[in-house]
Amino acid sequence: MILIFGCTNKKKSKQNASSSEDSLSSYLTLANDIRLPLEYKQKYNQKAFDIIIGQKDDSINKVNLFKIANRYYNMDDWKGYFQTSKLILERSKKSHDIVNMAKAYTYLGDYYSAKVISDSAFYYYFKAEKLYLNLNDNYNLAKTIINKANLQFNESDLFNCEIAVFKALRTLKTEKANDLLYESYNLLGILYNEREEYDKALEYHNKALISLDDKSIPIEFQSRATSLNNMGYVYLNLKNYQQAKIYFEKGLQQENLFVDKPKLYAMLLDNLAYAKFKLNESDNLPDQFYQALKIRDSLKVIPGIISSKLRLSEYFYSKKDTLKAIQYAKQSLMLSRSTSRLRSILEALKQIGNVDTKHASVYSKEYILINDRLQKAERNMGEKFSRIEYETDEIKVENTNLEGQNKKLLLIFSFVVILAILLYTIKSQKVKQRELMFKQQQQQANAEIYNLMITQQNAIEINSIKEKKRVARELHDGVLGRMFGVRINLDSLNKIKDDSGIEKRLNYLAELKNIEQDIREISHNLSREKSELINNFVAIVTNLFEEQKKTYQAKFLARIESTIKWDLIDNSIKINLYRIVQESLQNCNKYANATTIKVEFKKQGGNLILKISDNGIGFNIYRAKKGIGLQNIKSRTNECHGTLEIKSTEGEGTSITVTIPIEQIQKPTTK
């Protein structure tokens, strides 16, 4: 009876296990069914998890847990995905399962990447990379390196991104992995497009397309449509809109694109509409823009919605519908601010500044501030990536050497290196501090020299005016004496009644009229010369302009509005304006290769406007590092409580506009 009872229990146990396995398979299938609502898929995935968590912790158990995590990922349930991945990592560490540890690190990297927490994502990918390197798993090693490269690209760390992709390609030399080759070539194409190396971008996008020819990548991934879209985007940047249109149309023709990748379909549709708009083709516009926006809105693709609204703003502005243009630009700006994506905010500010000219200076000021923040953030993230790699490697080295015989030597060496770095840093800081003090002293000296120039010019003008007054007074007195004599002679002729008296009288009257006319002309000329001396600032700036014309071959045009009351403007403001003009002309002469340079001072509304422009080679204001010259111009503008706007396009010249409110810069008048 005992034997029979034991056999019966074993049979029941096997039946329960079989039933449990069947239920697990069913729940996992249902959790991945795209036809079911989200709450149902979450419920079935939780049921599958409840079965797995009660099973023995072995390799099969971890495989099933990864399936649970995958389903959470597919349904964008990030909390469930994170908790499951963490659980797998803890179990893998406990059982010393290196393979699943590496995979769990990758999953956690994917989680932080989806949450746009780039430093944490980079940390977990880096840990996975080290494990795959030890396992000689080249495929997963290359895949992890590509994940890191994508993070570096998203944070504008383009140099290290390029290095990482080529590292992945070297790793794949002995592997047949067309999917990873495609990802590598595609990323390089996007990277070179960002760096404006368009020939290289097209070269690698073509390589990506060629890697799809062996059909190893599933069609439902729509990789061909992705590459066609990317190539079309390169041609958009090249302003070859006809060629861009061809590639976007080819991309949209891919089979089942809308079903497989609705996000990509909306992107291609929006890009096609934009290419047609640039070609002045009106068919299906703006309907295609609206259709792309509708799809993106339904999918809640925030970057795509921002892009669609910016392009609609540009479209309606070209159609002179300024109201709609401003409306879409403002919606894009509000949405960008809600996501805290600095690059999107910059694009929105640029567009709204173009269409809302009344408030352009406000948007321009915010643009400059956010651009500075973005550059600092990108630089900090690049340094953080390097620090993560460095610190992780350092920890590994220290742990290894703790077990070795050379522990003391390593510590002493590390101390010496750190001390040397510290000393070098202190020395560098002192040098930088001395340089800064020297620059400040130089600026102060320049200001003092300029004030001396102003004082000297004032003295010259005062003496000149005094001298002219003296001459005018003497002329006036002398000529009046002559006039008085003529009048006396006229009185004496009153007694003469014949024709000779009348003739003499007429002659004296004519001479008297000439004398009076001479007095009037002399007085008016002297008075006008006095008013034309306006202010010594104009004279000093004019001297600078004359030096420019004599020294450099570029055609120089200058205009100073006569309505500006320079005597009411504080000397410190004039110093800053003079230095801004001087610095700008120096930049034009050294770097711009311009054939024409224009400088204009004008009064507009309640503002004083200084505009310096050239037709030189220009530069990319988003990528160019801010030199000392540009920083000085910005600093001087801020001292004047003004706004600075820099516009430049490579090959199309540069313009700098300084706007200063007049009510803030006028000196108080005395009664």
Per mean pLDDT, which of 17-26, 466-475, 614-623 is the most reliable?
Answer: 614-623
Task: Please give the helix or strand (H or E) that residue 603 lies within, else none.
Answer: strand 596-604
Is residue 55 a contact partner of residue 61, using CB atoms and an 8 Å limit?
A: yes
Provide mean pLDDT across the span 331-350. 86
How sure is the predictor about 3, in pLDDT bands with cuts at 50, 70 and 90? very low
- What is the per-residue pLDDT for 81? 93
How sure is the predictor about 192, in pLDDT bands with cuts at 50, 70 and 90? very high
Radius of gyration from C-alpha coordinates of the chain: 39
Quote the tokens at residue 275.
Answer: 């290419």
How sure is the predictor about 520, in pLDDT bands with cuts at 50, 70 and 90? low
Provide mean pLDDT across the span 575-604. 89
Q: Please determine, for residue 525, whether its predicted confidence score (pLDDT) is greater than 80.
A: no
Q: What is the 8-class DSSP label of residue 625? A: -
How sure is the predictor about 2, in pLDDT bands with cuts at 50, 70 and 90? very low
- What is the per-residue pLDDT for 397? 47
What angle in degrees, to the nearest 10, is found between the helix axes of 302-318 and 262-278?
A: 20
Q: Please determine, for residue 91, whether its predicted confidence score (pLDDT) is greater than 70.
A: yes
Least confident of 199-208, 236-245, 360-369, 626-635: 626-635
- What is the per-residue pLDDT for 5? 41
Proportion of the chain above pLDDT 90, given as a percent: 36
Q: Please determine, for residue 57, whether its predicted confidence score (pLDDT) is greater than 90.
A: no
Q: Please determine, for residue 354, whether its predicted confidence score (pLDDT) is greater than 80.
A: yes
Q: Please determine, for residue 532, whether its predicted confidence score (pLDDT) is greater than 60.
A: no
Give the 3-state secondary structure percentages of the chain, helix then strand then coil, rounded to 5.
75, 5, 15
Is residue 589 a contact partner of residue 611, using CB atoms and an 8 Å limit?
A: no
Each residue of 629-640: pLDDT tens digit? 778 888 889 988
Show the CA angle centred on residue 211, arms to residues 207 and 213, nearest 5°.
120
Nearest to 591 by CA among 556, 616, 626: 616
- What is the per-residue pLDDT for 655? 92
d(CA 147, CA 537): 59
Ramachandran angles phi, psi of 280, nearest 5°: 60, 30
Provide mean pLDDT across the span 519-535. 53
- What is the per-residue pLDDT for 449? 64
- What is the per-residue pLDDT for 410? 73
Higher pLDDT, 284 or 474: 284
Q: 116: alpha, beta or left, given left = phi > 0 and alpha = psi -120 to 50?
A: left
- What is the per-residue pLDDT for 216? 75
SS3 per-residue string spanning 222-272: CHHHHHHHHHHHHHHHCCCHHHHHHHHHHHHCCCCHHHHCHHHHHHHHHHH
Higher pLDDT, 320 or 402: 320
Q: Please determine, for residue 187, whether its predicted confidence score (pLDDT) is greater than 90.
A: yes
- Concatenate the DSSP letters of all residues of 7-57 into one string: HHHHHHHHHHHHHHHHHHHHHHHHHT-TTS-HHHHHHHHHHHHHHHHTS--
Least confident of 51-55, 468-472, 645-649: 468-472
Q: Please determine, for residue 15, whether its predicted confidence score (pLDDT) is greater than 60.
A: no
Q: Please determine, for residue 485, whether its predicted confidence score (pLDDT) is greater than 50.
A: yes
- What is the per-residue pLDDT for 305? 93
Query: The tokens 């694009």 sit on which residue?
Result: 347
Q: Please determine, for residue 259, whether its predicted confidence score (pLDDT) is greater than 50.
A: yes
- What is the per-residue pLDDT for 534? 44
Is residue 288 a contact partner of residue 329, using CB atoms and an 8 Å limit?
A: no
Q: Please determine, for residue 487, whether its predicted confidence score (pLDDT) is greater than 90.
A: no
Q: What is the 8-class DSSP label of residue 568? A: G
- What is the per-residue pLDDT for 229? 95
Provide mean pLDDT across the span 159-173. 90
Q: Please determine, for residue 399, whether its predicted confidence score (pLDDT) is greater than 80.
A: no
Q: Please determine, for residue 646, whether its predicted confidence score (pLDDT) is greater than 70.
A: yes
Is residue 645 a contact partner of residue 588, using CB atoms and an 8 Å limit?
A: no
Provide mean pLDDT across the span 411-429. 86
- What is the per-residue pLDDT for 286? 94
Higher pLDDT, 656 or 483: 656
Q: Please determine, for residue 569, whether its predicted confidence score (pLDDT) is greater than 90.
A: no
Least confident of 255-259, 390-394, 417-421, 437-441: 390-394
Higher pLDDT, 649 or 463: 649
Mean pLDDT of the chain: 82
Quote the tokens at residue 108.
Answer: 């956690």
Higher pLDDT, 90 or 627: 90
d(CA 544, CA 522): 32
d(CA 335, CA 292): 17
d(CA 466, CA 168): 82
Q: Is the whole model's pTM more than 0.75, yes or no?
A: no
Nearest to 45 by CA among 60, 27, 23, 25: 27
Quote the tokens at residue 155.
Answer: 């944070």
d(CA 78, CA 69): 9
Q: Please determine, for residue 530, whether its predicted confidence score (pLDDT) is greater than 60.
A: no
d(CA 460, CA 539): 12
CA dist 207 to 143, 166, 180, 243, Å?
18, 14, 12, 19
Strand 555-560 and strand 596-604: the pairing is parallel
